[in-house]
């Protein structure tokens, strides 16, 4: 008890906080989805603040290219499971809380089961499919979702699906963006990202979680905060008090057909597949494994190039952009077989 | 009328900068009207499937009227994490 008193005293003495709020944090069950640029700082602050049960969900491994913003990981951990390293570090940071590792990808099959055991979810993911999946699942399960997203120098934060006093729910992600064409929005790997924006936005997400359970301050419910690290300007856009969406079933995201690097290596000389590099020109010129070059945002304009009678294998650096390319191309040419090179050129080079 | 539009995220690239002046026929336009005009002038905005139009820091849609003194922002979705 003395330990608790010392550890949390500086937040307990805050105006509108107190032991009661600390107890609420201790009883809270919070799931962080994505142990990346946003998830690392968010989880660190939530652990430090004494969230009683903190779940971390991620299926990926530590990658050197992300170390600049994924601050729970070190170079000697490259290749290890992110969720294991993160949970180890968080346990050291606060041994008094329960840390739960979910070494898996959240899919429409498991989302309700996993999210269902938590009081609140943080969207710290890096792709639209999972963002919509978390959003729709939280709406169906009536759980608040603390959203964060970053690009270059900019970030967005909001708290979706909070219960209003009259029983209605505050707006969710689909009130703002009903649908997204992922091939037209560059990721951090393509557009770049300043590491500190991940820290700023991840901390803002943790901030909203603490406020939610401590019942302190005004949540970003019905509002979305935009922050620009270049100008240091922030603005809050009012969305409304009640959601206008009517989500009755979880979205069933497209399941991307994969080909592994090993399988592709065996076929590379046989001319069985049409290879298509969907990275940008600089990446393509620096290194490629042959085939056509069609940057991701141009895939939907090139149906004739893709329709050669051969199955198509899209590839990129990590397998993320090629998975989006498969989705886009399949809509254009339902009769053609499309595959994504699993884990991209990273896996190819390793094999 | 001439309106000033602020661009965020990928819209900076599509609109060619972080702000843009646009000539509009007449002295008012609806939010829906401005959205389709933008999509017509910048087809890549339409390709995004959805983007947020904010007027004076409020989400704008449908028949909401926009005039010259309003601050308009085009805010596309962002995926990074």
Of chain B, the percentage scoring pLDDT greater than 90 comes to 100
* Residues of A in Cβ contact (< 8 Å) with B77: 128, 149, 177, 180, 185
Using a CB–CB cut-off of 8 Å, the residues of A that contact B are 34, 36-39, 124-128, 131, 148-152, 154-156, 175-182, 184-188, 191, 193, 198, 224, 226, 228, 235-240, 300
Distance from the A165 Cα atom to the nearest Cα atom in chain B, whole angstroms: 22
Q: Which long-range contacts (CB under 8 A, 24 or more apart) does A141-146 make?
A: A141/A112, A141/A115, A141/A116, A142/A169, A143/A115, A143/A118, A143/A119, A144/A120, A144/A212, A144/A221, A145/A120, A145/A121, A145/A172, A145/A173, A146/A120, A146/A121, A146/A122, A146/A205, A146/A208, A146/A209, A146/A212
How much is the pLDDT for A1?
A: 47
How much is the pLDDT for A16?
A: 86
Residue among B50, B58, B81 minimizing CB distance to A34: B81
Q: What is the pLDDT of residues A284-326, one digit of tens each?
A: 999 999 999 999 999 999 999 999 999 999 999 989 999 999 9
What's the longest Cα–Cα distance across chain B?
Answer: 42
Residue B25 falls inside a structural domain: yes
The CATH number of the domain where B8 resides is what?
3.10.20.30
Please state, in angstroms and as integers, the Cα–Cα distance from residue B32 to each residue in A172, A237, A246, B1, B44, following that order: 21, 18, 21, 17, 17
**Residues listed for chain B:** 81
Based on the residue annotation, tell me whether A316 is a catalytic residue of this protein: yes
Please state, in angstroms and as integers, the Cα–Cα distance from residue A268 to each residue in A259, A264, A290, following that order: 12, 6, 10
Residue B32 falls inside a structural domain: yes
What is the rounded CA–CA span in Å between residue A236 and residue A224? 6
Q: DSSP state, B50?
A: -
Q: Look up the domain containing B12 and give its range.
A: 2-75
**Residues listed for chain A:** 351
Give chain A's residues under pLDDT 70: 1-3, 251, 253
* Residues of A in Cβ contact (< 8 Å) with B48: 180-181, 184-185
* Residues of A in Cβ contact (< 8 Å) with B78: 149-151, 154-156, 185
Q: Do A180 and B49 touch (CB under 8 A)?
A: yes
Q: Are the C-beta atoms of residues A123 and A146 closer than 8 Å to each other?
A: yes
How much is the pLDDT for A268?
A: 77
Question: What pTM value is reported for the model?
Answer: 0.90
- Checking if the pLDDT of B33 tops 60, the result is yes
How much is the pLDDT for A208?
A: 98
What is the rounded CA–CA span in Å between residue A305 and residue B12? 30
What is the rounded CA–CA span in Å between residue A123 and residue A164? 21
Q: Over chain A, what HEC string results?
A: CHHHHHHHHHHHCCCCCHHHHHHHHHHCEEEEECCCCCHHHHHHHHHHHCCCEEEEECCCECCHHHCCCCCCCCHHHCCCEHHHHHHHHHHHHCCCCEEEEECCCCCCCCHHHHHCCCCEEEECCCCHHHHHHHHHHHHHHCCCEEEEEEEECEEEEEEECCECCCCCECCCHHHHCCCCCHHHCCCHHHHCECHHHHHHHHHHHHHHHHHHHHCCCCCCECEEEEEECCCCEEEEEECCCCCCCCCCCCCCCCCCCEECHHHHHHHCCCCCCEEEECCCHHHHHHCCCCCEECCHHHHHHCHHHHCCCCCEEEECCCCHHHHHHHHHHHHHCCCCCEEEECCHHHHHHHC
Residue B21 falls inside a structural domain: yes
How much is the pLDDT for A315?
A: 97
Domains: count for chain B: 1
Residue B66 falls inside a structural domain: yes
Residue B68 falls inside a structural domain: yes
Residue B80 falls inside a structural domain: no
Residue B81 falls inside a structural domain: no
Q: Look-up: residue for tokens 């051969």? A: A310
Which residue segments constitute the domains of chain A, with CATH numbers given? Answer: 2-238 (3.40.50.720), 258-350 (3.40.250.10)
How much is the pLDDT for A351?
A: 73
How much is the pLDDT for A190?
A: 85
- ipTM surpasses cut 0.90: yes
Residue B44 falls inside a structural domain: yes
Q: What is the pLDDT of residues A137-153, one digit of tens each?
A: 999 999 999 999 999 99
């Amino acid at each position: 008890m003395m330990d608790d008193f010392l550890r949390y005293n500086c937040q307990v003495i805050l105006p509108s906080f107190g032991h009661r709020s600390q107890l609420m944090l201790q009883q809270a069950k919070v799931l962080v989805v994505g142990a990346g640029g946003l998830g690392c700082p968010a989880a660190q602050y939530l652990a430090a603040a004494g969230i009683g049960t903190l779940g971390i969900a991620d299926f990926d491994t530590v990658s050197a290219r992300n170390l600049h913003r994924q601050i729970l990981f070190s170079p000697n951990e490259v290749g290890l499971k992110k969720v294991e390293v993160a949970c180890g570090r968080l346990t050291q940071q606060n041994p008094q809380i329960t840390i739960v590792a979910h070494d898996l990808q959240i899919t429409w099959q498991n989302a309700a089961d996993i999210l269902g055991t938590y009081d609140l979810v943080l969207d710290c993911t890096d792709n639209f499919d999972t963002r919509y999946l978390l959003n729709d699942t939280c709406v169906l399960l009536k759980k608040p979702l603390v959203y964060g997203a970053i690009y270059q120098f900019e970030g967005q934060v909001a708290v979706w699906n909070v219960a209003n006093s009259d029983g209605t729910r505050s707006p969710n992600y689909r009130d703002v963006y009903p649908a997204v064409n992922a091939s037209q929005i560059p990721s951090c790997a393509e557009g770049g990202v300043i590491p500190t924006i991940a820290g700023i936005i991840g901390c803002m997400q943790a901030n909203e979680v603490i406020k939610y359970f401590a019942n302190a301050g005004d949540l970003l419910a019905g509002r979305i905060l935009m922050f620009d690290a270049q100008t240091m300007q922030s603005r809050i856009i009012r969305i409304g008090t009640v959601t206008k969406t009517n989500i009755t079933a979880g979205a069933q995201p497209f399941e991307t057909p994969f080909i592994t690097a090993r399988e592709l290596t065996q076929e590379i000389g046989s001319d069985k597949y049409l290879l298509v590099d969907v990275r940008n020109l600089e990446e393509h010129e620096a290194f490629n494994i042959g085939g056509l070059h069609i940057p991701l945002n141009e895939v939907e304009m090139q149906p004739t190039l893709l329709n050669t009678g051969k199955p198509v294998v899209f590839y990129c650096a990590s397998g993320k952009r090629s998975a989006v390319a498969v989705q886009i191309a399949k809509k254009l040419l339902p009769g053609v077989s499309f595959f994504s090179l699993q884990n991209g050129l990273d896996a190819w080079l390793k094999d | 009328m001439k309106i000033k539009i602020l661009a965020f995220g990928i819209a900076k690239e599509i609109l060619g900068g972080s702000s843009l002046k646009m000539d509009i026929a007449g002295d008012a336009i609806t939010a829906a009207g401005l959205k389709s005009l933008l999509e017509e002038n910048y087809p890549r905005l339409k390709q995004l499937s959805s983007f947020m139009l904010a007027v004076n820091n409020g989400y704008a849609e449908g028949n909401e009227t926009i005039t010259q003194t309003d601050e308009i922002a085009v805010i596309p979705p962002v995926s990074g994490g």
